[in-house]
Amino acid sequence: MGANAFLTGCKSDDTKDRKTFDADDIAYLNEIGETILPATATPGAKAANVGQFMTVMINDCYEEKDQKTFKEGMNKLNDSANKKFDNGFMKLSPTQRHELLVGLDKEQKEAMKTKKDGEPAHYFRMMKELTLLGYFTSEVGVKQARRHIPVPGRYDGCIPYKKGDKAFS
């Protein structure tokens, strides 16, 4: 009896209304991520598939109010693109995408200054944080954007640093 009660507590609640994402949403989030972390000498956020990472994190780790803010934010971002450039985000040039996201980043910084406890973060802040987390915890981010040492050697607290060196992962 006790074991059954314990194990039923481990089952997920399938009846919960989950905010699902489709393949178009993932592609859209990948493009947002790629604008935040574009490919340069190293692969960008799209190579790490941060769109897929974001959807998993939002569905599995965020509270319902944050999920709602994020999903509505995806629409707001596209609406902002339509207002500013008369085109959806996916049809904008890389320069226009960058300009739009720089403006949203300024907006989220201002919104975070007046945010009260318990209120969800600004949607663009969530997107930016998840892009960075998804990228730098992915295989691409760890092995190609940083200096990866799979098995650490001895500790050396004083390593010479040259400007432009990658951080260790």
pLDDT digits (tens, 9 = 90+) for 33-92: 999 999 998 999 999 999 999 999 999 999 999 999 999 999 999 999 999 999 999 999
12: pLDDT confidence band, cut at 50, 70 and 90? Answer: low
Compute φ and ψ for 96, nearest 5 degrees. -65, -40
Decide if 5 is inside a domain.
no
50 compared with 120, residue with greater pLDDT: 50
Angle CA(21)–CA(27)–CA(31) in degrees, nearest 5? 125
Which tokens go with 51?
Answer: 């769109």
Helices (H), 37-85: 50-61, 64-85
Decide if 78 is inside a domain.
yes
Decide if 168 is inside a domain.
no
Decide if 1 is inside a domain.
no
State yes or no: pLDDT of 134 exceeds 50: yes
Decide if 97 is inside a domain.
yes
Decide if 69 is inside a domain.
yes
Decide if 158 is inside a domain.
no
Which tokens go with 52?
Answer: 């897929």
> What is the number of structural domains in the chain?
1
| pTM for this model (two decimals) | 0.78
Q: Mean pLDDT throughout 122-147? A: 91
pLDDT at 87: 95
Domain ranges, residue 67 = 19-144
Decide if 66 is inside a domain.
yes
Three-class SS state of 147: strand
